[in-house]
Structure 1
Amino acid sequence: MSSFGNPHSLFDVEGRVALITGATGAFGQVAARTLADAGCHLVLAAGNAESLKEIADACSELSASVTVVNSRPDDEEKCQAMVDAAVAAHGRLDILVVASGMNKVAKIDEMPLEDFTSVMDANVTHSWILAKVATKQMKKQGDGGKIVLVSSARGLLGHPNGYTAYCASKAAVDGITKALGCELGETGITVNAIAPTVFRSPLTAWMFEDTDHAKTVRTGFLSRVPKGRLGEPEDLAGPLLFLASRASDFYTGHILYADGGYTAG
């Protein structure tokens, strides 16, 4: 067995340059704070300028160097501008975290085609474009890189309440992750995805409340979760740091379920 020194060094990302899209969302903020605290230089991208300033200021207070791009990854030109911002500020790009995305819920016979298309664009097409432009830059640098996409337990499992667009989009993200993991294997660029189940965020805060409705929904959901609780933001921080660091160098094309065992049963 070869010696690899201090195992803590495998998780060291200090000085690495990370681009996070959807930086104002629930997972985007976790990613930003985690990598800021770990010593990364950050490029934070999001469409909401006020919320973007708030998370940028929070990361600056953690002594991180922060560049902001007030834009959503709606097309290739905008995605390229995000990568260019990282290169302009720090000369390179080491880590891409695609935390941008969306959901629209409706039964299939009630969902307009444009709603289905908008979910697929936000979750699949934009992830693909960001991976494309990041791959070009990382290949140019020649020393590898880390691409982390955001999937969901719903990429593996269906849902009875109007999730055809979301489930399809996250299954497609899983496919991109696996295909790119194979395609880029010999380049040193790893491509992996974090797939959470329900975790605390502004959209799910009601599930944590002490109301009869929340208790009923929570009890039914937790009957499928071996860990017996809903997820917290910090449950995503560890997996992200792992996938963004040298500790995951032998992991690619992998979907890491942060779900308390939900998909295991």
Structure 2
Amino acid sequence: MSLTNPLSMFDVSGKTALITGASGAFGMVAARVLAGAGCKLVLAAGSADALKDIADECREIGTDVTEVNARPSDEAACEAMVAEVVKAYGALDILVVASGMNKVAKIDEMAPETFTSVMDANVTQSWLLARAATRQMKAQGTGGKIVLVSSARGLLGHPAGYTAYCASKAAVDGITKALGCELGPTGITVNAIAPTVFRSPLTAWMFEDTDQAKTVRDGFLTRVPKGRLGEPEDLAGPLLFLSSKASDFYTGHILYADGGYTAG
């Protein structure tokens, strides 16, 4: 690698990547970006139809794709996903954990099992996938890239019943930092992307030209120095950076893709 050829640092062509939650908002961004960059993909999601749609789209981009119709619901499922990557392509170079959930309720109205389900989906499953990937990457002896998905809510609270979500994303931040320290000597980097509101099927209403959307959007944008909500493209650069050699000296890092929301 030469400083006179800096784009080579971002070259991930021929690498193999596992993306969980591949049919979700961030997972689809990750699939499109890494497919376009020339990665071979194993895409995992619970919805077979939605999974096929994004897998076919990536094949049309011109990359090799293997579909795994499953969620990382437990240890066995996570180990099986990593095994599928090795079976299909011989090695695992990049893990992107884009699976997760949010359930909103005020604390006095939230059932304990609801809190536990969010923590399990966002924290336990991230940990299990990182463990399975770490074992494989260590065995390969060539390092690797683990990218978790956090949120600005891992740093900041929210008044609308986000105790489970905020706690879960703060825990993802903790896993990221701890694994960054633990795995530093191995050549495996562990980082997280932490977006704020960006365009997705769940947030599409905030982008609409309605009085309700404008009121909510304007209130939110008073905290965003860039003065707009996020677009999927705003996540593409951070993902490619954290998946490539360009980030080899970055680990345990939370990269806020938030238009400056957490800066003020």
Please indicate the TM-score interval, normalised by the length of the shorter structure: over 0.9
Other-structure match for 1:196: 195
User: SS where residue 184 of structure 1 aligns?
Assistant: helix
Q: Distance in 2 between matches of 1:3 and 1:164?
A: 47
Other-structure match for 2:210: 211
Where in structure 2 are there 5+ consecutive unaligned residues?
A: none
Does residue 109 of structure 1 match 2:111? no
Other-structure match for 2:128: 129
Deviation at 1:3, TM superposition (A): 5.0
Q: Distance in 2 between matches of 1:66 and 1:126?
A: 23
Other-structure match for 2:183: 184
Q: How does 1:57-72 map to 2 (within 5 A)?
A: 57-72=56-71
Other-structure match for 2:11: 12
Q: C-alpha offsets along residues 6-31 of structure 1, whole Å, 9 cap, x if unaligned?
A: 00000000000000000000000000
Other-structure match for 1:223: 222
Q: Distance in 2 between matches of 1:106 and 1:56?
A: 34
Other-structure match for 1:139: 138
User: SS where residue 61 of structure 2 aligns?
Assistant: coil
Other-structure match for 2:242: 243
The amino acid across from 2:180 in the alignment is G
Q: Distance in 1 between matches of 2:219 and 2:4?
A: 46
Other-structure match for 1:94: 93
CA RMSD of aligned residues (A): 0.8
Does residue 38 of structure 1 match 2:37? yes
User: SS where residue 20 of structure 1 aligns?
Assistant: strand
TM-score, scaled to structure 1: 0.99
Taking a change above 3 Å as real, the CA distance of residues 106 and 17 of structure 1, as seen in their structure-2 partners, is same
Deviation at 1:5, TM superposition (A): 3.9
Q: C-alpha offsets along residues 93-149 of structure 1, whole Å, 9 cap, x if unaligned?
A: 000000000000000000000000000000000000000000000000001000000
Deviation at 1:253, TM superposition (A): 0.1
Q: C-alpha offsets along residues 48-86 of structure 1, whole Å, 9 cap, x if unaligned?
A: 000000000000001110001000000011111110111
User: SS where residue 195 of structure 1 aligns?
Assistant: strand
Deviation at 1:4, TM superposition (A): 3.5
Q: Distance in 2 between matches of 1:193 and 1:169?
A: 13
User: SS where residue 61 of structure 1 aligns?
Assistant: helix
The amino acid across from 1:93 in the alignment is L
Q: C-alpha offsets along residues 152-173 of structure 1, whole Å, 9 cap, x if unaligned?
A: 0000000001000000000000
Q: C-alpha offsets along residues 228-249 of structure 1, whole Å, 9 cap, x if unaligned?
A: 0000000000000000000000
The amino acid across from 2:172 in the alignment is V
Q: Distance in 2 between matches of 1:67 and 1:137?
A: 18
| Structure 1 runs (4+) greater than 4 angstroms displaced | none
Q: Distance in 2 between matches of 1:253 and 1:111?
A: 32
Q: Distance in 1 between matches of 2:183 and 2:4?
A: 27
Other-structure match for 1:74: 73
The amino acid across from 1:6 in the alignment is N
